[in-house]
């Protein structure tokens, strides 16, 4: 603002991106359809990454649950055997 004489040089989003040096961060296509294609591909990649990460978390949770390590109220083996014999 000091370089512009106390007046904010940002009047639009494009000005803000240019001021911050972020106007060429994402590859823009030569036409509107290419830009939409780039955005669609980025969205598809993020969708796949988050789905795979969610699947990994579910698989780890399932493994813990089937081994019995995820159950906080699990009885020790001796107490469980004693209870079963009574």
pLDDT tens digits along 29-62: 778 888 888 889 999 999 999 999 999 999 988 8
Q: Which of 66, 68, 85, 86 is nearest to 76 (CA)?
A: 68
Q: Is the pTM of this model over 0.85?
A: no
Q: What average pLDDT score do residues 65-69 get?
A: 73
Judge whether 84 and 75 are in contact, CB under 8 Å. Answer: no
Burial (Cβ within 10 Å: 0-12, 13-18, ≥19) of residue 16: middle
Mean pLDDT computed over every residue of the chain: 77
Q: Are residues 79 and 53 in the same domain?
A: yes
17 has a pLDDT exceeding 70: yes
Q: Are residues 24 and 3 in the same domain?
A: yes
Length of the chain in residues, anyone? 86
Q: Are residues 8 and 20 in the same domain?
A: yes
The tally of domains found in the chain comes to 2
Q: Are residues 77 and 37 in the same domain?
A: yes
Q: Are residues 38 and 78 in the same domain?
A: yes
Domain ranges, residue 1:
1-29
Q: Are residues 21 and 61 in the same domain?
A: no
Q: Are residues 46 and 77 in the same domain?
A: yes
27 has a pLDDT exceeding 80: no
pLDDT at site 75: 57
- Tokens 């019995």 -> residue: 68
């Amino acid at each position: 603002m000091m370089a512009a004489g106390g007046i904010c040089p940002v009047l639009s989003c494009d000005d803000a991106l240019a001021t911050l040096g972020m106007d060429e961060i994402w590859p823009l296509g030569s036409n509107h359809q290419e830009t939409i294609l780039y955005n669609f591909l980025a969205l598809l990649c993020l969708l796949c990454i988050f789905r795979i990460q969610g699947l990994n978390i579910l698989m780890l949770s399932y493994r813990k649950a089937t081994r019995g390590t995820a159950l906080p109220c699990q009885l020790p083996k001796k107490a469980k055997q004693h209870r079963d014999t009574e």
